[in-house]
Amino acid sequence: MPRISKRTIAGFQPAEKDYIVWDDQIAGFALRVWPSGRMTYVVHYRANGRFRRYSIGHHGPWTADLARAEAIKILARVKDGSDPNAERGEERQSPTIAQFSKTFVERHVNTHLKPSTQGEYKRSIDLFIKKKLGTRKVSKLTRSEVVAFHHAFRHVPYQANRTLGVLSKMFSLAILWGIRTDNVNPCRSVKRYKEDKRERFLKPEEHQRLGEALDTARLTMPEAINAFRLLILTGCRLREIQCLKWEYVDLDERVLRLPDSKNGARTVQLGDGAVGVLRSITRLKDNPYVITGTKTGAHLTDLQKPWRRIRKEAGLCDVRIHDLRHSFASDALELGEDLTMIGKLLGHRDLKSTARYAHLKNEPIQRAVNKVDIKISQALGHAPTDIPAIDRSQSSETSQSGVDSYTRV
């Protein structure tokens, strides 16, 4: 039983049958010599009362020293109660991320998510996750690999963060379904990129230009114009109006009863303008939708293309459709509504979503402080813009003279 080393291995010759050469220092560590001349480093151990053999690797790619170090690690795992062979079997059976993504879509995405969210998840999986990580085993993906994956999309922080969220959900379910047995989600604690929330609000003159553009285009694309007017007057999300059905509309109560918005069912109160738009729309017997498309029984599917025409005509090329919702909120704040009321108008689940508009309160606050400023300034005997300036040069000379006098005394 020699010590397995580079020197001793050179003296081992193949025989008619394979044979084992045991190491004289590490119990269980051995070299298996095959008739073909190939040599394999192995470790023998007992687990659950059974004798097991674990193959480390072939001599050549593995040196004696590397195999010895690996054997020590394996035997340490055995001492802690692990079975390396069983773990290796589980690892081999573990699906790749590309394979698991199919299960994830079938069992979770298609079953539990809304159609719009399904599209976002599938896009992240097909365009990013499968292309970059598809061949990696679910059981072997590490946090450092996830960090590198996330970093690769740093130039599009929003997409990088959304894709990381999808990947994290995949691994949470992989743990729940017993596919990732170490109970480690490699996406956990990976820091998201800062996202600059874009806020664009229409000013009164911009609203006027937009209204003129909508009037001009009404004859050429009436359905799109109706949709835009409802979006402007209700603060609804795009899909809430785009997929609005007549059965959700109650003009007597002046409400829209949406059975499934982003945050679940909600009721949208309607003002006179929105009611007027809805009353002006002709209902089609063969179409349940308010904003009808070109196909029978379908809603208008593309509002982006007509919106690009409208905003170009109005000179508002940087305004997105979703900015109409932001403008609705800003106008409500301008009129003195508090954040709680704005949240109800927009259908927010909690106040955190509405809090992003809090800074818009600055303008009313500025007007209020200016009124107080004027009142106090007038009481002091001066108009706010007519306060006498202090001659600092004269004040400085007087002060210096005083200092000199004091010094002389």
| Model pLDDT for residues 276-314, shown as the tens digit of each residue | 999 999 999 899 999 999 899 999 999 999 999 999 999
Could you give the domains of the chain? 6-92 (3.30.160.390), 97-176 (1.10.150), 204-359 (1.10.443.10)
- This model's pTM is above 0.75: no
pLDDT of residue 220: 92
pLDDT of residue 334: 72
Residues 6+ apart with CB under 8 A from 212: 314
When pLDDT is cut at 50, 70 and 90, the band that residue 403 belongs to is very low
CB 91 within 8 A of CB 54: no
Query: pLDDT digits over 208-225, tens only?
Result: 999 999 999 999 999 999
pLDDT of residue 331: 78
Mean pLDDT of 255-277: 86
Conformation bin of residue 298: beta by default, left when phi > 0, alpha when psi is -120 to 50 = beta
More confident residue, 168 or 51: 168
Query: pLDDT digits over 115-136, tens only?
Result: 878 989 999 999 999 999 999 9
CA–CA distance, 314 with 327 (Å, rounded to integer): 16
Residues 6+ apart with CB under 8 A from 259: 248, 265
CA–CA distance, 279 with 226 (Å, rounded to integer): 11
pLDDT of residue 265: 83
- As a whole number, the mean pLDDT across the chain is 85
Query: pLDDT digits over 33-53, tens only?
Result: 999 999 999 999 988 888 889
Query: pLDDT digits over 107-118, tens only?
Result: 999 999 988 789
Say yes or no to pLDDT of 365 above 50: yes
